[in-house]
A and B are shown apart, each in its own frame.
Chain A
Amino acid sequence: MHIRSFILGALTVWGLLTPALSQAQFVANDARLLASGCFQCHGTNGKSGAFDALAGDGKLDMLNKLNDMRKQSPGSSIMVPHARGYTSQQLDMIADYFSKQK
């Protein structure tokens, strides 16, 4: 009984001690989460997507293309509703994220 209680108690303490993820393991990244919506067509982290691979592309170049798309008719190309569906600030974060992928 006493031994069982001790073990349960120790297990409980151990459970509470499961540490938070360290920064080496996980750093929250809002831009990565936002840009991950592009991975389905442009590949994980913008790499090896069969459509345009975006990893390492110039940020300004990407933003220029997206801003051109924002002026086009929504049904003209599948990328146009994407360019028009995010805010300017979100597009900036997305382009910045892909420009920094190697």
Chain B
Amino acid sequence: MKSHFDFSLSRRSLLAAIGAGSVCATTFPAFGLTTPTRKIVVIGGGMAGATVAKYLRLWSNKAVEVTIVEPSTTYVSNIMSNLVVTGQYQPSILNYNWSSLTANYGIKVVKGTVTSVTANGPGWNVNVTGLASPLACDRVVVAPGISFDPVLDNISQPIAVLHAWQAGPQTTQLRDRLAALPATGTFVMSIPAAPYRCPPGPYERACVIADYLKRKKPGARIVVLDANPDVMAEPANFKNAFSTLYGSNLTYLPGRKVKFITAGVNAYSGKVTVDIVGTGFTEEYSGDLLNIIPPQKAGLIAQTLGLCDGSGFAPVNGVSFESTLKPGIHVIGDASKTALPKAGHVGNQGAKICADAILRIFSNQQPYATPTANSACFSPLSNTVASWLTAVYQYEQQNDSSWKYVSRDQISTLTGATEASGASTKNFSKMSTWYKTLMTETFA
């Protein structure tokens, strides 16, 4: 298919066309400059950052230069990390790196932390710790994931919590403390008000920990304090698991928002004081192990760069994930504010929409006006059975003329995500296939 415009005009004829060609062409080699290339700097190499880098290279036939700036040497997957907490899987199954993206697509990876991004003509300079000069680029893609709000103690001081909601050292810390939980101990976990990373994730964790306790510590129990009014994802499957599989050792309490924590004698033990949402009353829950998942915002660099609104997340145009606050900078993944959930599978798809939009912009075209995205995941409910959750999102214009991603069944016209009609061992097995394929698609 040939477009109406031929953008393949060579640099030489373009230079000649404006008459300054001979000056530039002869002058610039003296400065040691090479042919100008479109350059992108991606801040953060997680699920969304790795994907946007891959597709910017793949879909431009490697014409666009892509550099990922990433402080870590290993990406530790949040997906599947709950089954590392319970000891079912080894931590190594969570570890990925960027070497295949470099080898297969020529993506550059710079280890460091971005301190600032400043305007450089029509493009940007990205300043990175440890680099003598900034990385110059045409557009910046910001993919820092999430940051956590402070949790307060009983005198309103920030207190360290074990959330294990950013996989890494805390994942194995929680695993080890769970294993050391007294035989008749109480595990207390809290779920923040939405939006937070991975809508089904906290309920999945509650289930697999209840399953672990049932098998390994039958005298112990888990209390789940949810700031939300109800289970936020797969309500039928999770509530069924809570009442049938874990009726004897799991207590689920919606509408309980963490107010403060009174530390106990042992690390991460203590008392959680919660507001009973909408009543003005408080309650206290004591735990031998507290797993507090704090409320979340976009990763710090997105806040530092002024990309976030009052919600703490970055508003973007859904067709391109370009910031509505700072044009020329795109925000993808969990840090962005759209109607899409915050999760790895859909973060991968949002990144592809962003990559395609940037390449169209670099070709003097408009981003595709009505993109689709999808979210899909398998959720373990025990060490043998899993459920699933999925949705296809169409970018649709609303009655108030705004545009939004809406999940809609085209046959029934019903909106909202779909969950499995039940949990099964077959789904548990498919979960491993899904995980491996998603991670290969993202990191290789």
Q: How far, in angstroms, from A77 to B437 measured CA to CA in the complex?
A: 18
Q: Which parts of A1-55 form the interface with B (CB within 8 Å)?
A: 10-28, 30, 32-34, 36-37, 39-44, 48-51
Q: How far, in angstroms, from A75 to B9 measured CA to CA in the complex?
A: 51
B353 contacts chain A at the CB level, 8 A cutoff: yes
A82 contacts chain B at the CB level, 8 A cutoff: yes
Contact of B121 among A12, A17, A41, A87 (CB under 8 A): A12
**Beta-carbon nearest neighbor of B121 in chain A:** A15
Contact in complex: A81, B409 (CB < 8 Å): yes
Contact in complex: B38, A37 (CB < 8 Å): no
Q: How far, in angstroms, from A40 to B421 measured CA to CA in the complex?
A: 22
Contact in complex: A81, B391 (CB < 8 Å): yes
Residues 346-364 of B, flagged 1 when their CB comes within 8 A of A and 0 if not, give: 0011001100100110111
Contact in complex: A75, B24 (CB < 8 Å): no
Q: How far, in angstroms, from A71 to B183 measured CA to CA in the complex?
A: 50
A56 contacts chain B at the CB level, 8 A cutoff: no
Contact in complex: B441, A44 (CB < 8 Å): yes
Residues 66-106 of B, flagged 1 when their CB comes within 8 A of A and 0 if not, give: 00000000000000000000000000000000000000000
Q: Which parts of B1-26 form the interface with A (CB within 8 Å)?
A: 1-3, 6-11, 14-15, 18, 20, 23-24
Contact in complex: A51, B7 (CB < 8 Å): no
Contact in complex: A40, B36 (CB < 8 Å): no
A84 contacts chain B at the CB level, 8 A cutoff: yes
* Chain B residues near A88 (CB-CB < 8 A): 410
**Beta-carbon nearest neighbor of B20 in chain A:** A13
B383 contacts chain A at the CB level, 8 A cutoff: no
Q: How far, in angstroms, from A48 to B63 measured CA to CA in the complex?
A: 25
* Chain B residues near A74 (CB-CB < 8 A): 409, 412, 418
B444 to chain A, nearest CB (A): 8
A-B contact count (CB 8 A): 173
Contact in complex: A40, B348 (CB < 8 Å): yes
Contact in complex: B14, A19 (CB < 8 Å): yes
B291 contacts chain A at the CB level, 8 A cutoff: no
A34 and B372 contact, Cβ closer than 8 Å, known pairs A14-B24, A74-B418, A75-B418: yes
B64 to chain A, nearest CB (A): 8
B77 to chain A, nearest CB (A): 14
Interface residues of A: mostly helix, strand, loop or mixed? Answer: helix
Contact in complex: B392, A18 (CB < 8 Å): no
B122 contacts chain A at the CB level, 8 A cutoff: yes
* Chain A residues near B121 (CB-CB < 8 A): 11-12, 15
Q: How far, in angstroms, from A81 to B418 measured CA to CA in the complex?
A: 7
**Beta-carbon nearest neighbor of B374 in chain A:** A37
Q: How far, in angstroms, from A75 to B20 measured CA to CA in the complex?
A: 64
Contact in complex: B436, A18 (CB < 8 Å): no
Q: Which parts of B232-251 form the interface with A (CB within 8 Å)?
A: none
B60 to chain A, nearest CB (A): 5
Q: How far, in angstroms, from A70 to B410 measured CA to CA in the complex?
A: 9
A99 contacts chain B at the CB level, 8 A cutoff: no
A47 to chain B, nearest CB (A): 10
Contact of A50 among B60, B356, B437 (CB under 8 A): B437
Q: How far, in angstroms, from A21 to B389 measured CA to CA in the complex?
A: 39
**Beta-carbon nearest neighbor of A90 in chain B:** B372
Q: Which parts of B46-67 form the interface with A (CB within 8 Å)?
A: 55, 58-61, 63-64
In the complex, which of the residues A13, A43, A44 has the most CB atoms of chain B within 10 Å of its own CB atom?
Answer: A44
Q: How far, in angstroms, from A90 to B408 measured CA to CA in the complex?
A: 14
Contact in complex: B36, A82 (CB < 8 Å): no
* Chain B residues near A48 (CB-CB < 8 A): 440
Contact in complex: B372, A37 (CB < 8 Å): yes
Contact in complex: B419, A75 (CB < 8 Å): yes
A58 contacts chain B at the CB level, 8 A cutoff: no
B173 contacts chain A at the CB level, 8 A cutoff: no
B388 contacts chain A at the CB level, 8 A cutoff: yes
Residues 414-444 of B, flagged 1 when their CB comes within 8 A of A and 0 if not, give: 0001111110000000100110111011000
Q: Which parts of A57-102 form the interface with B (CB within 8 Å)?
A: 70, 73-76, 78, 80-82, 84-88, 90
Chain B interface residues (CB < 8 Å from chain A):
1-3, 6-11, 14-15, 18, 20, 23-24, 27-28, 33, 36-38, 55, 58-61, 63-64, 121-123, 138, 345, 348-349, 352-353, 356, 359-360, 362-365, 368, 371-374, 376, 378, 388, 390-392, 394, 407-412, 417-422, 430, 433-434, 436-438, 440-441
Given A18-B37, A20-B9, A23-B2; 15 other pairs, CB 8 A cutoff: A14-B36, A17-B18, A21-B359, A22-B8, A26-B61, A26-B360, A27-B3, A28-B368, A33-B371, A40-B376, A40-B441, A48-B440, A84-B410, A87-B410, A88-B410
> Which 4 A/B pairs are nearest by Cβ-Cβ distance?
A85-B392, A75-B421, A25-B63, A22-B8
A sample of 8 cross-chain residue pairs with beta-carbon separation below 8 angstroms, ordered by A number, consists of A13-B24, A17-B24, A21-B359, A23-B3, A26-B359, A37-B373, A37-B392, A40-B438
